[in-house]
Structure 1
Amino acid sequence: MKKIFKLFALCVLVLATVSCNDFLDINENPNAATSTTPQLVLPGALNTTASLMVTYNNYGSGVGGYVANAGGFGFSGAYITYNYSTTDNTGLWSGMYDNLNDYQYVINNTKSDPVLANFYAIAKIMKSHGFQMLVDQYGNVPYTNALAGGQNITPEYDAAQDIYQDLIVQLDSAVYIIDNAGSATNPGTTDIMFGGNMARWKQFANTLKLRMLIRISGVTSLSSFVSEKFATLGASNFLTDDAIINPGYSSSNQNPYWNTYHSSTAGTAATGGRQYIPSTFILTFYNGSKIADPDRGSTVFRSFPNTVNNRLGNQIGNVPTAPANTIAWYIGRGNGIDARDTVGLFKGRTMGMPIMLAAESYFLQAEAIERGFLTGTAATAYRQGVISSFRYLYKGVNNTVAAGYDPVADADAYLAENEGNQLVDYASSTNKIETIITQKYIALNFIHGHEAWSEFRRTGYPTITSNSTFVSTVSQATSPDRLPRRLLYPSTEYQLNSANVPQTPTNFVFNTPIFWDAN
């Protein structure tokens, strides 16, 4: 754990737009006291969460089969071998704990103030969101006393399944707080995800709860807890539109995805985008090899169906290079600062950052209904998941569907074109869970790679075989499928919290799955 407690304050104008070029990083110093407010810290924390999605997506997209190395860029180390060390992917840990400290600050400074009840609830929801992401990659982590600042700089580790259960309880608490907030202050424009729409925050909390319950639904020891908590969901409202954070991205303070993968504010092509190209595996779900999906394929990939692609780890021979001055996921015209707003994954530098897709919400509902945890019609939720995937891709920078695009018509055409295909046709599928997870995998493509990776570990879908796989050609994994199961704790934990950090055996990364990974 970091010993320095960081707060991120985002400058927010309580007007129609929200913008600020500089984000404050205030270190707690007992010799130079500083002060801030929950109203200032919350939007900064949300903005940091948006930026962290790039870090998590990049990691998950590599190990989970979305991206491969492009020619002309030397790939070495754990990204392609999976032989993770304590210095690999450390940003997932340090960045998230910094972010969680911000949410804890809001919680500590609002929990006794009824006027700020909505801020309190939002921070609790986002704290659950952050810890879920940590547990899914590391397992046991510091939780109960992790965010005590200087009062406890060597926190003990909590059991992963205990953390999951408490996160679900905290989400229930947040929904209760919103329902009973009365005349509490509405966050308004300081809420850079839902603009103060607390009904949508309840939907988000319910959908996060659904995600976590589905993820632990195969853990025998938690069956009673899962059943109990599913019963409290009942006919709860879930997300019906994408959860998007946008603090007011501009040409000088652009969207983190765009900045990392497309180009800088000066228009220089980002190395982070050009060193990766789509995997050969992911293209099979669009180009007819497994599934015919020309509409989404041409919206996601540049020059589809002739998109440059590779298999992770393959650096022998003529490995394709990324398109000059741009990336293989940008379909618009122009390069650098001349790139034009478009649809697809990279819509423009002012696009918002997706935190959870409506497509995921519907696919979670479909699985829950199919498994008997929720009532309803699974086929209906499934179709809405497919439609929502098309809808997100067809949105422009303003978060509305662009002119000339029809997500419902194209989704229905896709379902009809693939009638009888086990991976698409829900009605005829003999393995409906495989169908649902495969479609979720497609919907999360290079958006939330970490979530797709967790779902693959949980379910084993989409199916990989010796002839159709995303496993790196230079994998050093000793597991049967030659894939890792988790990350190692960062070296800072062994240096600063050695009495508590778990001592890991040889091949821990390959042979010790997260508690919900029964696959």
Structure 2
Amino acid sequence: MKRIFNTLFLLSLIALSSCSEFLGDNVDPNRATSATPELVLPNALTRTASLTRSFNTSAGWIVGYTANAGGYGGWGSTVTYNFTTGSYAGTWESTYDDLNNYQYIEESTADFPELGYYNAVAKVMKVYDFQMLVDVFGDLPYTEGLQGSANVTPGYDDQVSIYQDFVAQLDAAIDVFANSTVAQPMGNGDVMFGGDVDEWAKFANTLKLRVLIRLASSDEGNSFATSALASIDTGIGFLEEDAMVNPGYIASSGKQNPYWETYHTNASGSLSGSGRSAIPSTYVYSFYNGNKILDQGRGAAVYREFPTGTPRGQLGNLTDNPAALSNQTSWYVGEGTGVNASNTIGLLKSRTAGVPMMLAAESYLLQAEAYMKGYISGDDAAAFEEGVIASYRYLYKEASGEVRAGMDPVADFETYKADNPDNYLVVYDLAATDEERLEAIITQKYIALNFIHGQEAWAEFRRTAYPAIVNGSSVASETFASILSTSTRADKLPVRFLYPDTEFQLNPNNVPTGMDQFVNTIFWQGQ
């Protein structure tokens, strides 16, 4: 059974190592008995990319990026939010499995300064994975976790203390990236930044900014966070380019871009089930079609046949809808079908495109909030505009990573403002209060993260209550809460996942009990 201790693979390496001392040199040269950090890192990053897709899919249903197409069954807990301890057990187990990879890298490089970059990357990516877990489960096995057979019933750490330790881990990693004089280049082992440690430092600093902003939103973490924000090293910088993982995706089963595999077609060209059963919600579409905001550039890049073809019969009604079930996925805007689908712009760019781990758009919008609130010194209006332009730029890129010829993110942003001249959600200078400025920042983050990082959009909604919804409304453009919700909250939404049944079976004395998906909020969430 997969749990939070080291994988059987790593345990077998230890066993094999011990046996070799007893048996001498009687070793099969064709059978690997060890794994190096150089070999483990690309696999770990690739698994994290798949995890990010998984978290996005789970949260995307909740935060209104996707809805259930009419005619599809089997989505009971998704549309009612009546979660059980089995609902997200796989998410828990898969994330801890991935964390074990990074733990192995960190432990095996700890005494080798020449492998310092691998050690620092492992620290950063453990924060990345653990934050996704905290943001949906709360308290976790953290300081006693990842110890393998040395502790199979680890205690749970308080989520605020976990977040605070994230800062220490990221600081340690940034110091290595910025100052190590002996660490050897990572080269091809780094399938995210190609060994560019300056980019890793910026990524870690941006992740730190995300952590501290959430800490600052809570009573328990505010003092710690504001102090840490005041001393954040802006000289390191923050992400200015999208952080992408690409291990060399190919048109082969299980080796394609995981978003493409889930929502477009498999390697043989058969349309994926999720690409038909998951369709755009009316709520999110209203930020493109003029109901809330008119966004001609990004609308055409995100939704097939925008603006005439997608809205009708594609937006989450729960009646039988044959067109939504038989046509290709709404998020593919290119030409061709099946194996003949072309490389294109938008969200589903190609089978071989990289997976975004953090968008430059999110980086700039995090900075905008930090500047607006006075956490650090900077121009919030400029960062806001750079964030929206970066969102256009990501969508206008083809699988190669280059913006398609003839497309201009800056010019289309100017059109965006001209199409919405009186809307402070678009024209930042029109926001008259800090609350309106925050709403504009988070709303644009919601748009930028659409179908990419639903887990981040859901976290930001719970933290800020933006983008705004109308509680209790049955109008699809006014709320993304399911009409079949069983939630007891005014907004009719869940606030967390439930701990998996495996923890109640194997770690019953430590797992928190009595959790309710509508009551027990994550520490940074407002009521």
- Shorter-chain TM-score bucket reads over 0.9
- Say if 1:310 and 1:320, in contact at 8 Å, map to a contact too: no
Q: Aligned match of 1:451 in 440, 453, 456?
A: 456
Residues 1:423 and 1:75: Cα distance change in structure 2 (over 3 Å): farther
- Say if 1:325 and 1:335, in contact at 8 Å, map to a contact too: no
* Aligned sequence identity (%): 48
Q: What is the correspondence of 1:453-468 to structure 2 with a 5 Å cutoff?
A: 453-465=458-470, 466=473, 467=475, 468=478
Aligned to 1:376: 378
Per mean C-alpha deviation after superposition, the further-off stretch among 362-371 and 415-424 is 415-424
- Asked if 1:355 is matched to 2:357, the reply is yes
Residue deviations 1:149-189, cap 9 Å, x none? 11111110000000000011110111012222103111011
- Asked if 1:28 is matched to 2:12, the reply is yes
Residues 1:3 and 1:226: Cα distance change in structure 2 (over 3 Å): closer
- CA shift, 1:422, in A, is 2.5
Aligned to 1:243: 243
- Which structure has greater helix proportion? 2
- Say if 1:69 and 1:75, in contact at 8 Å, map to a contact too: no
Counterpart Cα distance in 1 of 2:142 and 2:5: 17
- Say if 1:72 and 1:321, in contact at 8 Å, map to a contact too: no
- Asked if 1:134 is matched to 2:133, the reply is yes
Per mean C-alpha deviation after superposition, the further-off stretch among 223-232 and 121-130 is 223-232
Aligned to 1:410: 412
Counterpart Cα distance in 1 of 2:446 and 2:351: 25
Q: Aligned match of 1:307 in 307, 310, 317?
A: 310
Residues 1:320 and 1:452: Cα distance change in structure 2 (over 3 Å): farther
- CA shift, 1:284, in A, is 0.4
Per mean C-alpha deviation after superposition, the further-off stretch among 382-391 and 233-242 is 233-242
Aligned to 1:53: 52
User: TM (normalized to structure 1)?
Assistant: 0.93
Q: Secondary structure at the match of 1:415?
A: helix
Per mean C-alpha deviation after superposition, the further-off stretch among 250-259 and 337-346 is 250-259
Q: Aligned match of 1:338 in 337, 340, 350?
A: 340
Counterpart Cα distance in 1 of 2:86 and 2:12: 26
Counterpart Cα distance in 1 of 2:170 and 2:4: 28
Residue deviations 1:433-490, cap 9 Å, x none? 0001000000000000010000000000011112411110100001111100100000
Counterpart Cα distance in 2 of 1:147 and 1:517: 27
- CA shift, 1:310, in A, is 5.8
Aligned to 2:493: 483
Q: For 1:445, give the aligned amino acid.
A: N
Residue deviations 1:111-142, cap 9 Å, x none? 11110011111110001111111000000011
Q: Secondary structure at the match of 1:355?
A: strand
Counterpart Cα distance in 2 of 1:185 and 1:418: 51
- Say if 2:6 and 2:147, in contact at 8 Å, map to a contact too: no
Aligned to 2:510: 500
Aligned to 1:274: 276
Q: For 1:28, give the aligned amino acid.
A: S
Work out the number of aligned pairs and report it.
Answer: 498
Q: Secondary structure at the match of 1:142?
A: coil
Q: Secondary structure at the match of 2:342?
A: coil
- CA shift, 1:32, in A, is 4.4
Counterpart Cα distance in 2 of 1:191 and 1:143: 25
Per mean C-alpha deviation after superposition, the further-off stretch among 32-41 and 238-247 is 32-41
Structure 1 stretches lacking a partner, 5+ long: 8-24
Q: Secondary structure at the match of 1:292?
A: coil
Aligned to 1:22: none
Q: For 2:127, give the aligned amino acid.
A: S
Counterpart Cα distance in 2 of 1:439 and 1:295: 14
- Say if 2:5 and 2:145, in contact at 8 Å, map to a contact too: no
Q: For 2:444, give the aligned amino acid.
A: Q
Q: For 1:242, give the aligned amino acid.
A: D
Residues 1:320 and 1:281: Cα distance change in structure 2 (over 3 Å): farther
Counterpart Cα distance in 2 of 1:420 and 1:192: 43
Aligned to 1:66: 65
- Say if 1:41 and 1:106, in contact at 8 Å, map to a contact too: yes
Counterpart Cα distance in 1 of 2:165 and 2:15: 36
Aligned to 1:436: 441
- Say if 1:125 and 1:205, in contact at 8 Å, map to a contact too: yes
Residue deviations 1:370-400, cap 9 Å, x none? 0110111100000000000000000111111
Q: Secondary structure at the match of 1:510?
A: coil
